[in-house]
Amino acid sequence: MMRWQRWYGVAFGMVGVMLQSHVYANTSLNSANQGWIVSQQTPNHPTWLLGDAKQMPARVPLGSLWKLWVYTYSVDQHVADRPYACHAGTQAATGDEYCCTHDESISRDVALLRSCGAYFQPQRLQIQAKDWQRYWQQQAPDVPWLQDLSRVQPQTQVPVTDILNALNRVPPKVMSLTREALLGRMLQPQWSDVLPVLGGGYRFKTYTWAHPTLAGGYFGGAAGWLADGTAFWLGATGGSHRVVQRLSPLLAERLPPAIIPRDDQCVSVHYFKRYPIAQISRVDDLKTVVSSGHLRGDYRVLFANQQSLVIRSQGELSVQKPANQPVQIIGRLGLQDYLARVVDREGSADITQAARALSIAARSYLLQNAEFHQGCLQIDDDSRYQRVSPNPATANAQRIVAFTEGLSLTGSPIRYHQTKAEEGLLSWQNAVKQAQQGSNYLYILKQAFPKASWQLATDGKQCQPILEAEQYLQRNLVKVQQRMASIDGFEALKSVNVCRLDYGNPYADQQSLNIYVRDWRSQNDRVTLWHEYLHLALRFHPRGQDETWIEQQARQLTDDLGLSSFTSTPSTLRKIRHAQ
């Protein structure tokens, strides 16, 4: 868990995202000069949200979008995920600069979020043209170019409506997996200027290629889906990052994130856990006592303390009567619906930026603390955990949660309170005040959770070992143990994995005993490495939570050890280009 002084640019922590929300409010620019935004919920029915269809090029380049359909085919046809061996420096192949900044093997999902074309080459994946044609003839009979594997290339130019049709033809389950993988792209530091505007509800692949009509120019933008499967495409003259940055406020204004109250993720809630229920009856018939079954309509809940509450259910709440126990109300909710009800109960959806921060904190808390049983996350409606409204979520709360879809934090315990404020604890009162002063939700989160970073998808969390760093630790453990022997609570760890961290703050996982860092070769990197090691070695002692003391010890260890015991020749690093 890294201290705030060494904030490495996790998306919500960069200075670039600490912008006031009004920075993005001006969307009155001349749309004809900005570009085009088009959405489509069903094939062949596009909606032009920005720009005139008659003024745009008849055909636009696919650019990097071709990777979306190779990804789709690979997942749906169960093509083996063949990790791509990516190299940096003199060993790098053409295009590796898009894929990695150091030697590593990358999987399919990571390749998609990094726009690694080398991974998706059909020949490398052993995709046969006839098999490809057969698949897409069935999936997208109205998109002829997609059926020809030789045309699935960045230079291919097609009508925008064809791109939208091809996106609509992606099977829903594969679309959901693709969106999950693409979220990691939005959490890269270079997109920190867009994340405040689009949140997690818009998942897209960017593209940049030669302009179809302007010699020497570039044409860029993005295409993807909302949570309900609505496809969208945007494009204009320029590179993808500039175009998306410029058009994102208009996209958010004219195509709101999709509200999915009944999503695939399930949350089971035991309502009123600490307040025994004496009786449940219909509001329109108080004499009829309900002791089992689903609730549909308005009901009066009478508690054992003789207090009562009127609740409304649309079938998502049910009454159960365990043996020798009072009746219980159990809610089976979709994740988005659950979070919206938490926002209504614990805060207010009317204060947008504060509510967005709260919804992310609530999602993070749920994922950190809920138990998973019988296909559902299970958590009590309890002030010791988080309170959940038994009533249907308000429209504003649903919009808040749709905006922050998929965004959650890790690397730090996530808690919140109505008024209390301290590090690692989001104060709703402070969040409201910060929002009223013009701060966005990312700034609010950064102030409350300075050690946290974004939670990534499964592939992003898997350990990619830094073997040289592990060897460096191993060769110095005896010296460190001798130096720290007099420190109460110090436990010499003989087996620690050092894992490559692509995004967010360096941290130590106390369950797996993994250390996640970017590199280890510079002086500052080695301070970070020992800092996280000491957190693990002292994880059962209060010293392990003293960041100032841990930092002092890490610096002293680094100075004492130097690199005399182990050296390595650093490889040439390349920055991943932003154009894709």
**pLDDT cut 90: percent of the chain above it:** 58
**Shared domain check, 184 and 60:** yes
**Shared domain check, 215 and 75:** yes
CA distance 331 to 12: 32
Band (pLDDT 50/70/90 cuts) for residue 546 is confident
Residue 532 has pLDDT above 80, yes or no: yes
Band (pLDDT 50/70/90 cuts) for residue 9 is very low
Q: Which amino acid is at 439?
A: S
Find how far residue 90's CA is from the centre of its chain. 34
The answer to whether 161 and 44 have CB atoms below 8 angstroms apart is yes
The continuous run of DSSP H or E covering 497 comes out as strand 497-500
Write down the number of H helices and E strands in the chain: 17, 24
CA distance 567 to 51: 57
**Shared domain check, 405 and 282:** yes
Task: Tell me, yes or no, whether 95 lies in a domain.
Answer: no
Mean pLDDT of 453-481: 75
The answer to whether 343 and 349 have CB atoms below 8 angstroms apart is yes
- Out of 129-138, 299-308, 365-374, 564-573, which region has the weakest mean confidence (pLDDT)? 564-573
The residue out of 454, 485, 520 marking a domain boundary is: 454
Contacts of 522 (CB under 8 A, 6+ apart): none
CA distance 558 to 524: 9
- Answer with the residue of higher pLDDT: 44 or 323: 44
The answer to whether 497 and 509 have CB atoms below 8 angstroms apart is no
Q: What is the mean pLDDT of the chain?
A: 85
Q: Quote the pLDDT of residue 2.
A: 29
Task: Tell me, yes or no, whether 573 lies in a domain.
Answer: no
Task: Tell me, yes or no, whether 196 lies in a domain.
Answer: yes
**Shared domain check, 428 and 341:** yes
- Out of 96-100, 263-267, 398-402, 455-459, which region has the weakest mean confidence (pLDDT)? 455-459
Angle at 125 between CA 122 and CA 128, to 5 degrees: 60
Split into its structural domains, the chain has a count of 3
Task: Tell me, yes or no, whether 167 lies in a domain.
Answer: yes
**Shared domain check, 303 and 198:** no
pLDDT in tens, 490-528: 888 876 788 877 655 688 876 567 788 888 888 888 999
CA distance 14 to 108: 28
The answer to whether 509 and 499 have CB atoms below 8 angstroms apart is no
The answer to whether 513 and 495 have CB atoms below 8 angstroms apart is yes
The residue out of 254, 277, 299 marking a domain boundary is: 254
CA distance 425 to 365: 11
CA distance 23 to 465: 41
Domain that holds residue 288: 266-454
CA dihedral sign of residues 351, 356, 361, 362 = positive
Q: Quote the pLDDT of residue 15.
A: 32
Q: Quote the pLDDT of residue 186.
A: 87
**Shared domain check, 483 and 372:** no
Residue 572 has pLDDT above 90, yes or no: no
Band (pLDDT 50/70/90 cuts) for residue 412 is confident
CA distance 64 to 474: 42
CA distance 367 to 375: 14
β partners of residue 517: 500
Nearest alpha carbon to residue 521 among 572, 483, 461? 572
**Shared domain check, 470 and 400:** no
If DSSP codes are grouped into helix, strand and coil, which group holds residue 427? strand
Task: Tell me, yes or no, whether 114 lies in a domain.
Answer: no
**Shared domain check, 358 and 380:** yes
CA distance 195 to 441: 10
CATH of the domain at 544: 1.10.10
**Shared domain check, 230 and 163:** yes
Mean pLDDT of 31-49: 87
Record the pTM: 0.75
Task: Tell me, yes or no, whether 450 lies in a domain.
Answer: yes
**Shared domain check, 422 and 302:** yes
Residue 348 has pLDDT above 80, yes or no: yes
**Shared domain check, 300 and 405:** yes
Task: Tell me, yes or no, whether 429 lies in a domain.
Answer: yes
pLDDT in tens, 182-239: 998 888 877 888 999 999 999 999 999 999 999 999 999 999 999 999 999 999 999 9
Band (pLDDT 50/70/90 cuts) for residue 578 is very low
Q: Which residue has the tokens 């790098």?
A: 92
CATH of the domain at 247: 3.40.710
**Shared domain check, 389 and 485:** no
The residue out of 254, 288, 311 marking a domain boundary is: 254
Task: Tell me, yes or no, whether 113 lies in a domain.
Answer: no
Q: Which amino acid is at 54?
A: K
